Structure 1
Amino acid sequence: MRVANQSGRLTLVADGRGVDVETASAGRFSADPQQIFERWDEFVSWARTVDFSNAASVIESELHAPVPRPGQIFAVGVNYADHVEESGLELPDAPFVFTKFPAAIAGPYDTIEHPGGSVDFEVELVAVIGKHARHVPVSQGWDHVAGLTLGQDLSERELQLSGPPPQQFALGKSFTGFAPIGPVLVTPDEFADRDDLEVSTVLSGELMQNSRTRHLIFPIPVLVSYLSSIVPLRPGDLIFTGTPAGIGFTREPKRLIGTDDELVSRAEGIGEMRHRFVATGRPHPLTTVSRSTHHV
């Protein structure tokens, strides 16, 4: 099953055609894509009965984030061995977790504000929680996943890495639009192997990242188990699972995103996102603060 957010309305998608869920269910389910996760199992059972014979074509430009208002966004750093190596770090003993703020969510084809500084790309598979999870064993991790979507963990490295530890990971990765996801959410049963999907980044025609999720150090069931041992995971929460090697900041010379670039992200079985960037005309945040003039 493939689920989309078309013009703010929950839409079932098959073969490029879409069915409006609120209309087809005669109001049983809301048009709001975010609300469906609280009734995910019921929704999946109903969706299997939907007739697509009179469905209209999905209009790509009308697709927005399939999870528009997640309550929590967890992100996992250095979760591919090749990315650990290029970052000059050691293999982690446990998942390295940070957060992205929900206000950073963007759609699959949005134009994103470029805040200045060093904006980098990180293609990621994103797991969407479909069932409340607390102290979940690894063997049951997939049971709590509604589906998978594609994401970019966009990062402004200067703010992210500024100052002494603890550094500003959450802020540097949460500028407006820095958590684009889409174009659809796909249920795990749709994949031949849900644990082995190709992901890639192409920046202005140049392949930058390409790997498969079988190379994750901590795969999705482990992440669900680990996170749920610390905090409840709720329906509609997101887990950005990590990025493979090839990011722009560690290249020599660096290859970062500029306002003339087009960023194309792909995930096998899910689809493609395309983003362009526009200058804000505002100063970078680090230039507007000074410890000598601002006191807490």
Structure 2
Amino acid sequence: MTRMTRWRWGAVTTFPRWAADGDVPVELLRRLGRAGAGLVLVDPAGDGPQLEGTALAGFASAVPAAPAVLAGVRSAEVPPYLLARELVTLDHLTHGRSGWWCIDVTEHPGRADEHLDVVARLCASWEPDAVVQDRVSGAYADHRKVHPIEHTGTHYAVRGPLNTVPPRARPVVVLDGSAPAVVDVAARRADVLVLDTGRDTGPGGPAGSRDEHADAVARLRAGLVAAGRDVSACAVLVRLPADTPAADVVAAVRDRGADGFLLDVPLVAGPALDRTLTAITAGLVPDLVRDGLLAPVRAPGPTLRELLEEN
């Protein structure tokens, strides 16, 4: 059985086609949001030019009733200081419905771990009440509550602090993969770990077996405790094909001791996308709501972090 009373769910799509497809991503986000999806991960996998992930997430935040959109970004391609600024900006633009899917932990776990650590410390370099905007003294912030991080590591040297206003909350971090090195980083840094069941390859490497995933979940729970975090601090979501029957979704989540699932939803125009979304929103989701595994659909309200922490 799962640890959570009710599961979290969402989707994974791709973004090389977003610009060419016009209103297609808007329709996808609206329909998934109205069905209660909490997040959509945007995978940059594929050939051809790529759109910039954080700008894409900012665009998506303007879609009414949309889930939180987290773009896949390689830590190797964006310096931690720049990414921290982008994440704080997104946090304010989306009212807390944003975060970062770090997709290259499998390739370089040590560098990604350091990058994640630096970004988190930069986002915490301003205390929540640091901004005072005192018109009498002319002070914008209380300098005693703005802290350099003075980081010198193997891959990065960052003095800090971040030169933005503080975020509303620490950015949500998603990792994917079942390899021990990825799981260990997730135990220290992540809020969501995605286990892939339905593809041969991807950002997290080859899709893992049920037993491999169950072992990864057990390793994650132990790692959370060792890192001094609550055992529920990192949710586990199983990634499945969009056409997975409800019974198989239930089995996939429960067999792995996961907290919910993500569905691969190809971003295609026309009847194919409509059929996929209808099967999810009018079939799968209502069935799981009736079984008490998903919460009844409601208007968006909580931040992504609050949604992940709800029981």
Tell me if both proteins adopt one fold, taking TM over 0.5 as the criterion.
no
Structure having the larger proportion of residues in strand: 1
Measured against the shorter chain, the TM-score band is under 0.3
